[in-house]
Amino acid sequence: MRFATILYEGVPRLVAAANERSPRLIEGFADMFALMDAQRTAVEAAYAAGKPLPETGWRWLPPLPRPGKIIAIGLNYADHCRETGQQPPEKPLIFAKLNSSVIGNGDVIEWDPSITSSVDYEAELAVVIGKQTRLVSEANALAHVFGYTIANDVTARDLQKGDGQWTRAKGMDTFCPLGPWLVSADEIPDPQDLNIRCTVNGELRQNSNTREMIFSVRTLISYVSRMFTLYRGDIILTGTPAGVGIAMQPPRLLSDKARVTVEIEKLGRLENVCRALTFRVR
């Protein structure tokens, strides 16, 4: 099944769908974390009893509005390493994004031009952990996945280069669009065979497949779990393929009013508009 969180009648509500064309409001779960803890039979019963989602009067929220840890992986696609002229890493390159950076489908990616003038997109497969995971083998790693969603690892390239570490560049508010759907792991038997695309204002920029990953989802979960205990609701962003704006000649970065769309096969479509504006300090 696939799941989502929406704002409906002024409160967050859960939605479930057997496919994208049959979404229903479901009751009985306080939030996505509670749904992840529930038995599959209870979730299926809630879906069977749910009311059809109205066509209007609601908006998307991130599937997990405040996830746990967001662990991200750099330089994890062979084609991205080639376009940036970098050697593939021998071990996964790990950094973190702040969970306050998360926004949903249709929300605005925004930044202050006095802080950054080089904002870029990165289409990524996001892995949502379903249960506590520590020192798990690669063979058992996928059993710890609840599901998958779409991410855009928005990055301030000038801060990434100038700071020497990536907290500001990757972690600013609105720099982690997620969603709209969280698709259960049983619908994605092979996360290493998904087409992934990104367009900016309708122009195709990234077009690859998750088979281009250097370190597979299994490997990443196992590797990360050797250093950090993963809990249900933690997210691993698995890296981006070739086609990022900074690697183009000349660079083609995001601008005010740009529309960024990330699509991943079987997961759906994540779309956000950009806004560059000067923040007021009160």
Instruction: For 56-99, write each residue's pLDDT tens digit.
Output: 999 999 999 999 999 999 999 988 888 888 888 999 999 999 99
Number of domains in the chain: 2
Predicted pLDDT at 83: 86
- pLDDT in the model for residue 119: 98
Q: Find, among 12, 234, 1, the residue nearest to 128 by Cα.
A: 234
Buried b / exposed e along 103-124 (16+ C-beta atoms within 10 A): bbbebebbbeeeebebbbbbbb
CATH of the domain at 119: 3.90.850.10
Residue 93: half-sphere exposure toward Cβ, Cα within 13 Å: 16
C-alpha 267 chain-centroid distance: 11
Q: Has residue 80 been placed in a domain? A: yes
Judge if 249 and 128 occupy the same domain. yes
111 and 207 inside one domain: yes
Residues 6+ apart with CB under 8 A from 215: 73, 76, 92, 223
Residues 186 and 83 in one domain: yes
Do residue 13 and residue 96 come from a single domain? no
Instruction: Tell me the sheet residues that pair with 77.
Output: 213
* Spans of the chain below 70 pLDDT: 20
Query: Mind listing the pLDDT tens digit for each residue in 203-232?
Result: 999 999 999 999 999 999 999 999 999 999
Q: Considering 41, 61, 81, which residue would you say is the last residue of a domain?
A: 61
**Residue 281 is assigned to a structural domain of this protein:** no
Q: pTM of the entire structure? A: 0.97
Residues 46 and 152 in one domain: no
pLDDT at 223: 98
User: Does 21 fall in a domain?
Assistant: yes
137 domain residue, yes or no? yes
Helices (DSSP H) in 85-152: which residue ranges?
A: 138-141
With CA atoms as reference, report the closest residue to 98 among 171, 159, 154.
171
Give the contacts of 214 (CB within 8 A, at least 6 positions apart): 75, 76, 77, 78, 81, 88, 89, 239
Q: What integer pLDDT is reported at residue 195 of this predicted model?
A: 98
Report which DSSP code applies to 30. S
| Residues of the domain holding 34 | 2-61
